[in-house]
């Protein structure tokens, strides 16, 4: 029984990951652009650049704001109405963008 539950949970997790849709995330990201910039490149140091960050890091950050594990009053308000699938789509979108590179 326990094995079946773990298996079901693992399948649910992988289904969520594979269902993530960057194009849908792009639409949902319109609400984020005012702070995080067009294409996830913020022009203001207070707002992190999201372009090219790792997908699992982005999803983790958003889930942590939602659960309260990561505390920030601004972001708590932003994620309050996001569903699990929205977070997956947003993470897929921002991680698909070109990150900034530094020339040495």
Q: Minimal distance in Å, beta carbon 7 to ligand HEC?
A: 30
Q: Using CB under 6 A, which residues numbered 18 to 57 contact ligand HEC?
A: 31-32, 34-36, 46-48, 50
Contact 36, 49 (CB under 8 A): yes
Nearest one of 6, 7, 16 to 59, comparing CA atoms:
16
Could you tell me the two tokens for 75? 């972001």
Shorter beta-carbon distance to ligand HEC: residue 75 or 92: 75
Q: In this chain, which stretch among 3-11, 16-24, 67-75, 95-103 interacts with ligand HEC, using CB under 6 A?
A: 67-75
Residues 70-89, mask of contacts with ligand HEC (x by CB under 6 A): x-x-xx--x-----------
CA atoms within 13 A on the CB side of 20: 24
Out of 20, 62, 88, 92, name the contact with ligand HEC by CB under 6 A.
Answer: 62
The DSSP call for residue 53 is: -
Residues that bind ligand HEC (CB under 6 A): 31-32, 34-36, 46-48, 50, 58, 61-62, 70, 72, 74-75, 78, 90
């Amino acid at each position: 029984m326990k094995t079946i539950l773990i298996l079901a949970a693992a399948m649910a997790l992988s289904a969520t990951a594979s269902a993530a849709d960057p194009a849908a995330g792009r639409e949902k990201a319109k609400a984020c652009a005012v702070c995080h910039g067009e294409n996830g490149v913020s022009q203001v140091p207070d707002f992190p650049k999201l372009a090219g960050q790792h997908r699992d890091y982005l999803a983790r950050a958003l889930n942590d704001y939602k659960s309260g594990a990561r505390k920030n009053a601004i972001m708590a308000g932003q994620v309050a109405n996001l569903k699990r699938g929205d977070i997956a789509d947003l993470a897929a979108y921002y991680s698909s963008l070109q990150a900034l590179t530094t020339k040495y």
